[in-house]
Structures are given as structure tokens and as C-alpha cells.
Amino acid sequence: MKVVRFHAPGDVRFEDAPEPGAGPGEVLIRVRNCSTCGTDVKISRFGHHHIHPPRVMGHEIAGEIVEVGGGVDGWSEGDRVQVIAAIPCGECADCERGRMTVCPHQVSMGYHFEGGFAQYMVVPREVLKVDGLNRVPDGVSFAEASVAEPLACALNAQNLARVGAGDDVVVIGSGPIGCLHVRLARARGAARVFLVELSRRRLDMAADLVKPDAAICAAETGPVEEIRKLTDGRGADVIITAAASGRAQEQAIQMAARQGRISFFGGLPKDQPTITCDSNLVHYRELTIVGANGSSPAHNAEALGLIASGAVPVADLITHRLPLESAIDAFGIVARGEAIKVTIEP
Ligand SMILES: [Zn+2]
Ligand SMILES: [Zn+2]
């Protein structure tokens, strides 16, 4: 079969690999869609300390079961499935408390296990053990199902930041994750959702699709002042930074309303992880700053439900569909911000 395999930073190859089979406790799927995101770009350029090459990349995975290994119950050939990306152990103190996104023993598809940029992929027993294989609801395409994983990450963040009815929400960063955050905030009953982005071109592309209540180009106007204006000086109830930018995080704190919640959804570059925070703003305004680290199996299942019910439409966010041999070109499209969501159809 054909795969897209990481060998070293800057060395990702479209090549042949032996077709795998389903061992005991495993399931083999024919991958139908594996979508790309900024993480794939980062891995292809810099590698990752959890990836020991060669490794098939790809972690936003949907496909159909072609083989069920011994001892696996409840699944059969032909079932349409979505696979989690981050795999918690299910047994540690954090997992037992339901904090699966911060399981210290977490492993991941496309990192510790062969990923979805391949014609066939083994769903490891570790995934099945924590209920990480989800049935794709009728009416949801494989391409849409592959977006359940990033939507699940957004869902985790909005749960932690308590996005709810009547909130004014700001999303900073208008990539695919930013677009999902806008849609999800609306589905949760946000009063207004504002989108902030540095690049005018990316902002316009995203705003055309997700129609925020205001689209603010941070290169043209000061976003903090603009949000204050839009909220009669109150600030926003929730600010989500979907950008790897310390400046965006600093602005998020400054534009928060009293008792505002700030989600640092996007991480910062490893060599520049510090920001300046006016601690008195946090103190007197009773701000809450929360992180967000991936998603749990339950978030993935819930995300599929949100897509199936139409609460969070994702079909129109998939702007590019490419064959497996073009996956490496797809990383370039993602890196240049020319697309919202690029999906690979192996
Ligand atoms: Zn991703
Ligand atoms: Zn655990």
C-alpha cells in the first residue's frame, strides 16, 4: 500500500509500505479521509520527540473497517468509524477522575502508532480499550467525520472556558480551529462571536464562511480597543486564542470582561513560551485563564454528534480534497494559510 511517512525533519516521503493486518484486539480500517492541520506541518518540518521515524503521519482519521482482530466485540467489516488521535491510558489517577486530556501516559495516532495518511491503518487495542473508536452517524460523510477530532479539541477548550448562553466570545486566529470555535460558540448559545486575525486575506476567507458578528484585522486596528468598543467598554466574556502567538495571549487578557475566561487553546513556540501578564487584571477582574490539551474519547463522540445534528456544520469548512500522493503539497497549502480544512482521501 501507499503511505506518507516521516523520516526526518524536512524528509517526508510518499512511498510503499507492507499492508498491515489486524492482530488480536485490533481492527484494520481502509482510511477514507485523514485531514491535515498545523500539527502535520510542524511535524514535517521539525519532527516531534515522541516520533521515532519512520512513522506514518496523520491523526484526523475516518474510514471503514475491513478486518476485525480476534477478541474484538461489537465491530464488523463495513462499519464506518472515526478514530481518536490522543489516547489516554484509562487507568491512572487523572483518567479515573475523568481528566483524560491530561493523562500523563497519553500516546497518539501518527506519533506512537502508525497514522492515517495511508490506505490501511491498524486501530490499536489502546484505542479500543478507552472507547476511542466511534461509529460515524448516518448522513455524516467520512470527510466530515475526520473533522470530529479537531472539533473535539475545541469542545474541550470551550467546556473548560465555560462558553455558554449570552456570552460575547472572541476567537483570535481564523484557521480551521478558529472557524470551528466560532461555530461551536454559536451552537452553545453565545450572544455574539468576534473573529480576530492578523492576515486580512485569511480573515476574509474565514469570515465569508463562518460569518462572525465582527471580523477584526489585527494588522489594521488594535483588537483590544476594537473589542472594548464593540462591548461598550465591558470586554468579552470569553477569549480563545487559536494562534501560536504570545501577543495574542497578552491581548486576550487585556480584552477580558470582569469574570472573563481566557482559553490558551494554541500553544506557543517551545523557545518562546513566556508572555507578560498584568496580574492585577486577573486579580481585580476575577479572570480565569485555562489551557486546553487535545480531547478525550468522549469529546470525539460528542463532536460527531454535533456534526450529525447540524449544530456545528463542518462540510463547508473542507475547502480542499486531495489524494494521498498530494499530502506533502497539502502541508504547504496549510502552512501558507490558503485553505480552511484540507482533507486527504487515500
Ligand atoms: Zn490535527
Ligand atoms: Zn491515564
| DSSP assignment string, 148-203 | HHHHHHHHHHHHHTT--TT-EEEEE--SHHHHHHHHHHHHTT-SEEEEEES-HHHH
Note the pLDDT of residue 327. Answer: 96
Q: What is the pLDDT of residue 180?
A: 98
Residues in the chain predicted with pLDDT less than 70, given as ranges, are: none
C-alpha cell at 325: 500522493
Would you say 305 and 283 are in contact if contact means Cβ atoms under 8 Å apart?
Answer: no
Closest-lying ligand to the alpha carbon of 105? Answer: 2
What's the half-sphere exposure (Cβ side, CA atoms, 13 Å) at 180?
A: 28
Q: Which of the ligands is closest to the CA of residue 342?
A: 1
Distance between CA atoms of residues 284 and 269, nearest Å:
30
Q: Which ligand is the nearest neighbour of the Cα of 97?
A: 2
Distance between CA atoms of 272 and 266, rounded to whole angstroms?
Answer: 13
| Tens digits of residue pLDDT in 243-296 | 999 999 999 999 999 999 999 999 999 899 999 999 999 999 999 999 999 999
Residue 169, CA atoms < 13 Å, CB-side half-sphere? 32
Q: Which ligand is nearest to the CA of 87?
A: 2
Tell me whether the omega of the peptide bond preceding residue 54 falls within 30 degrees of 0, making it cis.
yes
The DSSP code for 118 is B
CA 58 to chain CA centroid, nearest Å: 12
For 200-255, how does the pLDDT look when each residue is reduced to its tens digit (9 = 90+)? 999 999 999 999 999 999 999 999 999 999 999 999 999 999 999 999 999 999 99
For residue 16, report the distance from its CA to the centre of ligand 1, in Å.
Answer: 24
Instruction: Give the global pTM.
Output: 0.97
pLDDT of residue 346: 98
β-sheet with 214-217: strand ranges across:
214-217, 192-197, 168-172, 236-241, 256-264, 288-291
Nearest in space to 185 (alpha carbons), one of 161, 216, 205, 149? 161
Nearest Cα neighbor of 317 from 155, 187, 147 is 147
Q: DSSP states of 67-90 as a string?
A: EE-TT--S--TT-EEEE-SEE--S
SS3 content of the chain, % helix, strand, coil (to 5): 35, 30, 40
Report d(CA 229, CA 69) in Å as an integer. 59
Output the CA 284–ligand 1 centroid distance in Å. 36
Helical ranges in 198-296 per DSSP H: 200-210, 223-230, 246-254, 279-284
Find the 334 Cα to ligand 1 centroid distance in Å. 11
HSE (CB half, 13 Å, CA atoms) of 282? Answer: 12
pLDDT > 90 in the chain, percent: 99
pLDDT at 131: 97
Tell me the CA–centroid distance for residue 95 and ligand 1, in Å.
22
